[in-house]
Amino acid sequence: MDAREAAMLALNACQRQGGWSDGALKKQLSAAELSGRDAALATQLCFGVLQNQMLLDFYLAKFSNIPLKRMEGKVVQTLRLGAYQMLFLTRIPHSAAVNSAVALVKAHCKNPRAAGMVNGILRSMERSLQNMPVIPQGDPVAYLSTLYSHPEWLVKEFILSLGEEETAQLLAADNSQPPTAVMVNTTRTTAETLKAMLEADHVEAELHPWLENCLLLSRTGDLERMEAFQQGLFYVQDPASRLSVLAAGAKPGMRVLDCCAAPGGKSFAAAIAMENQGEIVSCDLHPHKKKLIQAGADRLGLTIITPKTADGKVFRPEWERAFDLVLVDAPCSGLGVIRKKPDIRYKDPAPLADLPAVQLDILRNAARYVRPGGTLMYSTCTLLYRENGEVVETFLAENKSYKAETFTLTGPVGPIQSGSVTLWPHRHGTDGFFISKMRREEA
């Protein structure tokens, strides 16, 4: 199996099962036993097609007599892969993109006429590459939606928050590839020592420009196989997530509750900030996720973390007013991490409507666990106001014993007087993320 075949099968599985791209891709890559180079190409093809799917379909439809909707799934994915290579990858000859697409369809598709059709569509596109069909600009929502392959409902949401010009910047950033950010486990090593160790393993590592104890990696290959990973010297985390824990002000000796903890990233960041002194109770609704948190804590040697299964909406009297700091990193629509999970944008938006009620329920319950004078943090990795500012405003309006708390973060974020901040990929270079800090009044 080669890179294109693996990518086509992964894209097809992703589309059919509604599975996340990284899961489908990982499964396909390990089944295909590709070399490092081919695995990297397969990953790039998969991400590239998902990031540009609506634009590719717009062009393909112009060169096809048959609507894409009427074609077999694998044929559509092969066409997208061929078009993506011709339009976006300079190092692949167009003839190779077309020929490999035809071979893929011959090998995988039932209809004997499919190969001829794919050849015809991609050859016509190849002839028109210098003069591609123009995307109509009359309706800005439809235009941005096609150009950056984000569904119209999402473009409308972003335009409401940012306006058209900045929305275009956000959508472009969503389609960019961020470096892999890893956080140094300072209970075991320093940023400089870890950087040298990773470089000795041929990974390109640089210090993050404004977040300490964070390295940006490229040419990583499989990070989990590395000695430094196995020794628990780092964990993968976006700077935005770590910033939320820095804003919370976790200190050695504190008693901390992480209400929505799996796979454990915020708990790990807090435990490291606490120098592994104090106590962190790391809860998640799903029993199978307890193991995930424990495995991460064990690898990193963070002994103050105790994973538990608990529904954040259900009150536990034994925890009432018991914690210095309570983290609610709520389940959310995840629309801030489109750079890393490009297919999130294609989720059906209907079920997302229920999220604010769940988020508010968890926040209300979690608030009861904060000791007087203690801190309550609310965060999400989404950019929708109704899951972020609106949840916090509703909570504060009904809980007069809580006040928004000012905090200051490093780099381009700076002082946050209102107690709440949204981080944006195009403004801050981080995942899209929302952080809100509140303090419970002394009794």
Ligand X SMILES: C[S@@+](CC[C@H](N)C(=O)[O-])C[C@H]1O[C@@H](n2cnc3c(N)ncnc32)[C@H](O)[C@@H]1O
CB of 336 to ligand X, least distance (A): 10
Q: Does 264 bind ligand X (CB under 6 A)?
A: yes
CB of 241 to ligand X, least distance (A): 5
The verdict on whether 259 is a catalytic residue reads: no
Distance CA 209, CA 53 (A): 33
| Stretch of residues binding ligand X (CB under 6 A), selected from 35-43, 186-194, 278-286, 410-418 | 278-286
Q: Does 261 bind ligand X (CB under 6 A)?
A: yes
**Token duo for residue 414:** 């700076």
Q: Does 266 bind ligand X (CB under 6 A)?
A: yes
CB of 314 to ligand X, least distance (A): 8
Q: Does 5 bind ligand X (CB under 6 A)?
A: no
- DSSP tag of 374: E
Q: Does 262 bind ligand X (CB under 6 A)?
A: yes
CB of 347 to ligand X, least distance (A): 15
Q: Does 142 bind ligand X (CB under 6 A)?
A: no
Cβ(297)–Cβ(271) below 8 Å: yes
Please, which residues bridge with residue 182 across strands?
Answer: 215, 236
The closest of 51, 58, 47 to 3, measured between CA atoms, is 47
* Helices 53-63, 114-127: crossing angle, 10 deg rounding: 100
| Stretch of residues binding ligand X (CB under 6 A), selected from 121-129, 258-266, 343-351, 432-440 | 258-266
Distance CA 24, CA 364 (A): 36
Q: CB atoms < 10 A from the CB of 149, how many?
A: 23
CB nearer to ligand X: pick between 251 and 313:
313
Footprint (CB under 6 A) of ligand X, residues 361-380: 362
Footprint (CB under 6 A) of ligand X, residues 395-414: none
Asked whether the CA dihedral 255, 260, 261, 266 is positive or negative, the reply is negative
- Of 259, 283, 332, 381, the active-site residue reads 381
Q: Does 57 bind ligand X (CB under 6 A)?
A: no
Q: What is the 3-state secondary structure (H, E, C) of 63-128?
A: HCCCCHHHCCHHHHHHHHHHHHHHHHCCCCCHHHHHHHHHHHHHHHCCCCCHHHHHHHHHHHHHHC
CB of 431 to ligand X, least distance (A): 11
Task: Kindly list the distances between the CA atom of residue 193 and the CA atoms of 107, 185, 186, 198, in Å, as whole numbers in the listed order.
Answer: 49, 11, 10, 9
CB of 28 to ligand X, least distance (A): 24
**Binder among 5, 284, 343, 405 for ligand X (CB under 6 A):** 284
Footprint (CB under 6 A) of ligand X, residues 343-362: 362
CB nearer to ligand X: pick between 6 and 270:
270
Burial of 41 (0-12, 13-18, 19+ CB in 10 A): buried
| Stretch of residues binding ligand X (CB under 6 A), selected from 28-36, 37-45, 306-314, 349-357 | 306-314
Q: Does 312 bind ligand X (CB under 6 A)?
A: yes
Q: Does 241 bind ligand X (CB under 6 A)?
A: yes
Distance CA 131, CA 125 (A): 9
Cβ(279)–Cβ(306) below 8 Å: yes
How many residues of this chain interact with ligand X, rule: CB under 6 A?
20
Task: Kindly list the distances between the CA atom of residue 319 and the CA atoms of 267, 275, 316, in Å, as whole numbers in the listed order.
Answer: 18, 23, 6
Footprint (CB under 6 A) of ligand X, residues 313-332: 313, 329, 331
Catalytic residue ranges: 381
| Annotated binding-site members for S-adenosyl-L-methionine | 260-266, 284, 311, 329
Q: Would you tell me which residues interact with ligand X (CB under 6 A)? A: 241, 259-266, 283-286, 289, 311-313, 329, 331, 362
